[in-house]
Amino acid sequence: MVTAVKKDWNLGPDADFLFDRVGFEPTGEEQARILRCRKRKKLVVGGDQSGKSKEASKDWLLHWFEDQLAWPDEPLLYWLVAMDYERTRAEFQYIAEDLMKLGMPVNQSKRVDPGYIEVKLKGETKPSLRIETKSGKDPRTLAMFAPHGIIVCEASQIDLETYWKCESRVAPKDGWLHMSGSYEGSLGWYPGLAKAWAYGDKVAQSFRLPTPTNWHLYPGGANDPKLQRLKETTSDDFYLERIMGIASPPKGMVFGTEFRPDIHIREVEYNPDLPIYIWEDPGYGHAHAIEVAQIASGGQIRVFDEIYERGIITEDLIQVCMARPWWGNSNKTLVIDPNYATQHHGTHSIAEIWLQKTGLTAMGVKVKISEVTERIKSFLKVNPVTGDPGMVFSPKCRGVLSEVGAYPNPFDGQTKVYSWKMDREGNVIGDEPDDKNNDGLKAVGYGLVERFGLVTTSGNEFFTMKRYGMGEPRKKGHLKKRERVYAR
């Protein structure tokens, strides 16, 4: 007679039976709550050694039982995905051990790079179950077949593109996706998605599994002496992130609440039927950002390409632009940060260089940086009816996306985000952000201001927009400026 695990976990008879057979009992209510949830998509933020790999393997066990009922006549295929093969090892071994404890005829590879687990029952012509390891470093491994479910191991370490590939691969079978990992710094797509799913919806839910819940290793819980020593010898941010699973992003981020990688980063492509907007913030010692956008038929801004370089002259960056597929579009508008448009490189200003090289007249308007910031925020808002944001970015635009914390800085791999000026106690100083780590954002912001005006609370307000490079021939190295009026 089978003796089920503790009934007070309320996992259900099937789970009680399976877990008893493999000798598993949840470490506590936190782990039980994750297993109890049967939504199609789950994300688990676990502290170090919190038992997240074992929980993921047990969640697979329940899904396998459920999928056999949903797909009775079809072999079942599952993937273990990670940044590299080695990070799938724990889940791979736990699953193989559980199958053997259940008396299944397991055939597994000795290696995980790549690896597989198969179950072929007596009388079957081919395996009824196959589990494969996949590496995010090789996108080709994610391009075949449609699995019934995917476990993403150490999910915080994969990039956003790999996450999207996993989403698309389970879509044909309406499969499930289980992601677990510890925070590796509290920026990027993973913390954003954890926050977005925290309250759950019909198909998705995120959970937190702190290290102290693993009573196997820390019988004293949060008061365990080993954890108390760790807390005393590490920073508060480290302990919150790596032990408690609580995001601790840099304080004072300008777009800390408005930008969400899972919403504002999309696979957007160039549309030859739409006009091109080239938005530039020049630089040499810091980033020289050129953001390229289009406006979709519904009004959504789509930043689909970027040139983000340092230490390269304007003429060479223009050549890079002219080599891009979208350059052949005859309907192009150029906006340059007006604080730099008339700066000279030798005998010519940046606006003059563009005009001479391309025939494009640069536009721009001088406004406060706080007004530029507000205009960007207005387009990051999500339409409550359609659920779509007013602006999205291609994942190729890693420069500007690094400035909002979605990616590391492309020059040194460090976290460098656009932030407010702060005092030593972490309080915001003044109403102007710190003017750094914002080159791509300023390019976008000035482009939006030129096209749509400023965010205002009343009508009938105007500002002056200047076209740089129009009018009479140059006199003493300068170009005449012609002005026109834009309604705010």
CATH no. of 262-487: 3.30.420.280
Q: pLDDT grade, residue 346 (50/70/90)? A: low
pLDDT at 112 over 80: yes
408-429: pLDDT as tens digits: 788 887 778 999 888 777 777 8
pLDDT at 193 (0 to 100): 85
pLDDT at 160 over 90: no
pLDDT at 468 over 60: no
Q: What are phi and psi of 233, to 5 degrees?
A: -105, 5
Name the segment(s) of the chain with CATH classification 3.40.50.300.
7-243
- Considering the segment(s) 7-243 as one domain, its CATH architecture is 3-Layer(aba) Sandwich (3.40)
Name the segment(s) of the chain with CATH classification 3.30.420.280.
262-487
- State pTM to two decimals: 0.67
10-22: pLDDT as tens digits: 788 889 999 999 9
276-332: pLDDT as tens digits: 999 999 988 889 999 999 999 999 999 999 999 999 999 999 999 999 999 999 999
Which pair of structure tokens corresponds to residue 385?
A: 């009816």
